[in-house]
Chains A and B, each alone.
Chain A
Amino acid sequence: MAGNSIERRIRWSGLIIALGLIIQTGTLFWTHPLSFMAFLLIGCPLVAAGLLLYLYSLVSHQHPSGAESEAPR
């Protein structure tokens, strides 16, 4: 179950990062303030969200024995 959970988050993480990077690539073809805004307000947050989701999937991962991994207090 834990394995499925982490893999599900990694899947979402990969998709969100890919989407953010596709938007970033699109903005590179157009030198315009709107392109800059799309990069800053859509592309960057999506990549950041995907990256954070991936990192969260790592720290929230439970060992197969069921014991929670140690988290910083």
Chain B
Amino acid sequence: MNNSTPILIFFTSIVIVLAVLMAVRAELTRGRGGKILAFVTLAILPSLTVWTGVHEQLERSTSTKFCLSCHVMHDFGQSLSLDDKAYIPAVHYQNNFVPRDHACFTCHTDYTMFGDYRAKWRGLHHVWVEYFGKIPQPADIKLYTPYNNRECLHCHAGARKYEEASSHHKNPDMLAQAASNKLSCLTADCHDSVHDVANLKDNTFWKGPN
């Protein structure tokens, strides 16, 4: 529940009361004032309420808590707390390189015009599988498409640490290749330690901020 939720609940409650008033006292609409009240109560206010509700629900659906609420995602959530600096998701999560409240979404949305909506559509499919489909083992869950460098470069492009890292200049055109997605950031011997959920048991975990 974020800061705007109590306001939205209060606003929605008022609209509910007005809608019920219209339902039990429909004869109010015989007068001019009643007609205006009915239009505001039954057309404008519900539309506004649903619009703000959609915004609120979409915002919530990007939260880490939301993503990890499905049981199959538990191990992926745990991998964010791995005490190993080689693990890219863990390093990003523990050092606030991504907002912790939106950790999954920040890296797994497409930074394109309709990327957010594509992510939501995939999310609906995931919910369907969670309740009506055959749930795969966490280790068997793969990305739909190979991870695109665009998602990394959304934050890292232009950053001094990224541009000047010696490991990014092993080849003269390494940065250019990464920018054009010809060389994956997650390629072997680079940043290939991502959610290795099949081998979590033998690791130690960060306890979290004090």
> Which residues on A are within 8 Å of B, measured CB to CB?
3, 6-8, 10-15, 17-18, 20-22, 24-25, 27-29, 31-37, 39-40, 43-44, 47-48, 50-51, 54-55
Contact = CB atoms under 8 A, between A and B. Distances in A.
A8 B27 CA distance: 9
A26 to B, nearest CB: 10
Given A15-B23, A33-B69, A27 B57 contact: yes
B99 interface: no
Closest 9 CB pairs of A and B: A14-B23, A14-B22, A7-B26, A18-B19, A54-B42, A10-B26, A33-B127, A17-B19, A14-B19
14 contacts: A11-B23, A11-B24, A14-B21, A17-B15, A17-B19, A25-B9, A33-B61, A33-B127, A34-B127, A35-B57, A40-B57, A47-B50, A50-B42, A54-B38
Interface string B62-87: 01011001100000000000000000
A21 B19 contact: yes
B16 A55 contact: no
Interface of B: 1, 5, 8-9, 12-13, 15-16, 19-24, 26-27, 29-30, 38, 41-43, 46-47, 49-50, 53-54, 56-57, 60-61, 63, 65-66, 69-70, 123-124, 126-127, 130-131
Contact of B60 (A31, A50, A54, A55): A31
Contacts of A39: 53, 57
Nearest to B126: A33
Contacts of B69: 31-33
B42 A10 contact: yes
A21 B43 contact: no
B21 to A, nearest CB: 8
Given A47-B46, A54-B42, A33 B123 contact: yes
B27 A24 contact: no
A45 to B, nearest CB: 10
A70 to B, nearest CB: 18
Contacts of A13: 22-23, 42
A11 B57 CA distance: 29
Given A25-B12, A31-B60, A55-B43, A8 B26 contact: yes
A48 B49 CA distance: 11
B26 A21 contact: no
Nearest to A14: B23
A29 B1 contact: yes
B22 A10 contact: yes
Contact of A18 (B1, B16, B126): B16
